[in-house]
Structures are given as C-alpha cells and as structure tokens.
C-alpha cells in the first residue's frame, strides 16, 4: 500500500532543485487536491493515497519552476489567505513592510482616504480595509484581470464596500479629490534585468518599470506632489535609493524622505511626506 507519507517522500525528490522545502511543497499540493488542512494530513499520513497520479502531475508542473501559488490559486499575506491567478503578480512577504509603514501614518486619523496605484491582487487595500473601520480606498490598475482578482479578494474578506476598483494608468481616471495617503508597489525592475526562471511566469508589465526601472516611481512622485497629497509610500528596487533621493531633491519640495529595508537588509521602499 502506498501511503500519503510514502508518496509525499517519493515525489519530493522531484522538487529538490526548485525549492528548499520540497516535502512541504508536495504536502501543500496534496492538500490542495484533497481540500484538507495540514492537521488532517498528519492524522492520516499512514492511510492509502488514492490520488498519486493527480499529485504527480502537479509536482511535475511545479518542477518546471512554475509558481506554487499559481497551482494552488492561493497565497498567504499578512496572515490572511488571498486568491491568486496567473497573469497577476504573486504577493511577496516584503510588501508587508509597506503595510506596516502605512499603519504608522494613518493609525490616529479618522475618515481615512487612500489611493492605491497598481493594486494587483488587492492585498494592500484589502488588508488596510480589514484593519481600519473608518476607511475609504480607491485602488487602480491597468490590468483587467488584476482588477477582477482584487475585487474577488475584497469580497472574500468582506471589505468590498470600502474599496472602489478603477481601471486607470496611474492618476489618469482619478478625479481631482483629496487623499490622505497614496500607497503603491509599482513595477520597478529595469527592462534589461534577467529574471529568475520562476518569476518569468509572472506578468512582465507588473515587474518591469522601464529602461532604468524607476521611471514609473518618478512619475508617481511627481503626480502625487502636484496633487498636494500629504504622503506617498512606495516599494522600490534595492539599488534605487540614491537616484530617487537625487530626483526628489531636484524636482519637488518635501518635508521628509525616509527609506526602509526589507527582511534581508536591502533597501526596499520609501516614505515621502510632502
């Protein structure tokens, strides 16, 4: 008899080259097929596995470096589970820091109005809407698939009444109105940068920001400054601190510019107070 335990161990060998947690990932694929949780699996590890062929098919797909999140259609972010689909950027743990920075600024404010530029799967807006009761968010993206996915995540977390999703290229379809803060995780990778194989499965227009990489970031900074919005929080590339500092010093007036690092110690974002 081939038990779940035996099958998971056998198939994990196929993932040794694509992940440092092959056993764990095979378990996750198995749980996706069975629609069970990890506790159930550990209680039933010695029972017969009747879905080996189906599991092996998913493991083989993952072995090509195809993202696990696209296979299971879910990703965990800020302690919550979100829907994920091919064609929309997969949430990264480093973006949780952007959430923390936003919370620091708006935690004592009332009737908060936020604009998110490039909402992707909607994780930033949805998390902020779950944390704050008195909040109104407009979230924009140029990708129809991203907007549809964002809406589904807002409904999943029961905050869709707090967020309006709009198809827009940056501020293009946003009427002149006041916001307390703009948050954004825009594309910021240089077009010439060679992506890891697994990242190549993700939408390039959500990753590449132009010839240098920071072109969209600069556009967002200028437009946010011109609209007299008090705060801007953006994620950025690890090597963009110096050029963005120079750009801000030469092109806008601001009260404060602070950069923050990710969990690996790389420069990952900035907070601008105008």
In tens, the pLDDT along 136-157 reads 999 999 999 999 999 999 999 9
> Beta strand pairing status for 256-261 and 267-273?
antiparallel
Question: Is the model more confident about 197 or about 224?
Answer: 224
**Backbone φ, ψ for residue 100 (5° rounding):** -60, -40
Average pLDDT over residues 245-255: 97
pTM for this model (two decimals): 0.93
Is the model's pLDDT at 210 over the cut of 90? Answer: no
Question: Which residues lie across from 258 on neighbouring strands?
Answer: 271
Is the model's pLDDT at 176 over the cut of 80? Answer: no
Average pLDDT over residues 67-74: 97
pLDDT confidence of residue 197: 86
pLDDT digits (tens, 9 = 90+) for 72-96: 999 999 999 999 999 999 999 999 9
- Quote the strand ranges of the chain, DSSP E: 74-77, 80-83, 112-117, 135-141, 163-167, 181-184, 189-190, 208-210, 231-235, 256-261, 267-273
Q: Measure the CA angle with vertex 131, ends 127 and 133; round to 5°.
A: 120
Give 121's pLDDT tier (boundaries 50, 70, 90).
very high
Q: What integer best gives the mean pLDDT of the chain?
A: 95
Helix, strand, coil shares of the chain, percent, nearest 5, are 40, 20, 40
pLDDT confidence of residue 218: 97
Contact at 8 Å (CB) between 103 and 66?
no
Give the CATH number of domain 87-273; options: 3.60.70.12, 3.40.50.300, 3.40.50.150, 3.40.50.2300: 3.40.50.150
CA dist 181 and 185 (Å) reads: 14
CA dist 141 and 57 (Å) reads: 34
Is the model's pLDDT at 40 over the cut of 80? Answer: yes
Average pLDDT over residues 16-27: 96
pLDDT confidence of residue 83: 97
Output the six-digit token pair for 109.
């404010």
% of the chain exceeding 70 in pLDDT: 100
CA dist 267 and 217 (Å) reads: 15
* Residues 57-95 as b or e (16 or more Cβ within 10 Å = b): ebbeebbeebbbbbbbeebebbeeebbbeeebbbbeebb
Average pLDDT over residues 242-268: 96
Average pLDDT over residues 2-28: 96
Is the model's pLDDT at 169 over the cut of 90? Answer: yes
Give 207's pLDDT tier (boundaries 50, 70, 90).
confident
Average pLDDT over residues 213-236: 96
Give 190's pLDDT tier (boundaries 50, 70, 90).
confident
């Amino acid at each position: 008899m081939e038990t779940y335990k035996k099958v998971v161990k056998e198939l994990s060998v196929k993932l040794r080259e694509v992940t440092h947690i092959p056993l764990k990932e095979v378990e996750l694929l198995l749980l996706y097929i069975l629609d069970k949780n990890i506790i159930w699996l550990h209680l039933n590890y010695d029972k017969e596995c009747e879905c080996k062929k189906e599991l092996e098919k998913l493991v083989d797909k993952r072995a090509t470096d195809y993202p696990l999140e696209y296979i299971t259609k879910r990703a965990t972010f800020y302690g919550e589970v979100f829907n994920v689909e091919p064609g929309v950027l997969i949430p990264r743990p480093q973006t949780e820091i952007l959430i923390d920075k936003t919370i620091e600024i708006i935690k004592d404010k009332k009737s908060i109005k936020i604009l998110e530029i490039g909402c992707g799967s909607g994780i930033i807006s949805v998390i902020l809407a779950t944390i704050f009761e008195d909040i109104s968010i407009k979230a924009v993206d140029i990708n129809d698939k991203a907007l549809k996915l964002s809406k589904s995540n807002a409904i999943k977390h029961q905050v869709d009444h707090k967020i309006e999703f709009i198809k827009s290229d940056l501020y293009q379809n946003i009427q002149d109105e006041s916001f307390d803060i703009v948050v954004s995780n825009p594309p910021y990778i240089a077009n010439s940068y060679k992506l890891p194989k697994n990242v190549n499965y993700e939408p390039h227009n959500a990753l590449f920001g132009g010839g240098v990489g920071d072109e969209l970031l600069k556009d967002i900074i200028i437009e946010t400054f011109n609209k007299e919005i008090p705060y801007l929080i953006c994620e950025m590339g690890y090597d963009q601190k110096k050029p963005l500092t120079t750009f801000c010093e030469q092109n806008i007036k601001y009260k404060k510019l602070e950069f923050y690092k990710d969990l690996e110690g790389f420069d990952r974002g900035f907070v601008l107070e105008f």
